[in-house]
Amino acid sequence: MLLPLGYRMNEVYPLDRLGMTGRSYTHADYPEDLPQFFLSELHPERFSDGFAATVARVTASSRDPLDASAKALLARLATEGELPLEDAQALLPALVRCFDRQHADPTLADYELLLAESAEMAWIATEGNAFNHATDRVPDLSALVDAEKAIGRPLKETVEVSRSGRVLQTAYRADRITRPFVGADGKTMAREVPGSFFEFIQRAKLPDGRLDLAFDASNAQGIFKMTAASAC
């Protein structure tokens, strides 16, 4: 869905410690001005057989948020590069639905099985395709960290620094949210779990003057732990 919107895949990042692969997407026309997307794919086959079976069970009810009409509009956008305003307005709610959970409430037993091996997959079980985190680019991360900690904001203890030294990242701890689960008796119950969080990033320029839009696999894996650290 990102490609018809003018995005292109930039880089692939192995997140091996998490059993995941990340892919970054930047806008073809305005790579430094429009937000990037970082899509993370989890590989159930890298975990135990029981884990993979649980993933299949939890996601078995997944539905496609894009209906035939939305897919037709995306195909037209990909071909023509634009849509009439009324068609764009019709497509927008379908795009918003993509950033939601597409499967039914998980059972508490399945959630706990996933959590035992992957905090990231446990998060996906309750949040689906929602934003794991959103990021704000700032000019001086050190100054921001000092200011946020001074007023008691729950920031990560350390700042992640890329191997190039040009990309610095830190984040708030994940919010605690309440989500529904299906209990052993078949009844719906509520439990507090980690939700999304907010990240800050400082990017320096490359030698050629362009902004360094790269990610760092080690940084990314460190940032993902902001949800793992809050897991029940």
Confidence at residue 227, expressed as pLDDT on a 0 to 100 scale: 73
CB 202 within 8 Å of CB 171 = no
Helix, strand, or coil (residue 5)? helix
Fold assignment, 3-65+100-228: 2,3-Dihydroxybiphenyl 1,2-Dioxygenase; domain 1 (3.10.180)
Spans of all domains in the chain: 3-65+100-228
What predicted TM-score, i.e. pTM, was given to this entire model? 0.89
Judged on CB neighbours under 10 Å (0-12, 13-18, 19+), 67 is exposed
Q: What is the pLDDT along the chain (232 residues), one digit of tens a residue?
A: 999 999 999 999 999 999 999 999 999 999 999 999 999 999 999 999 999 999 999 999 999 999 999 999 999 999 999 999 999 999 999 999 999 999 999 999 999 999 999 999 999 999 999 999 999 999 999 999 999 999 999 898 889 898 899 999 999 988 899 999 999 999 999 999 999 999 999 999 999 999 999 887 776 676 776 776 554 4
Where would I find the H helices in the chain?
49-59, 68-80, 85-97, 108-117, 119-127, 141-150, 217-228
| Radius of gyration from C-alpha coordinates of the chain | 19
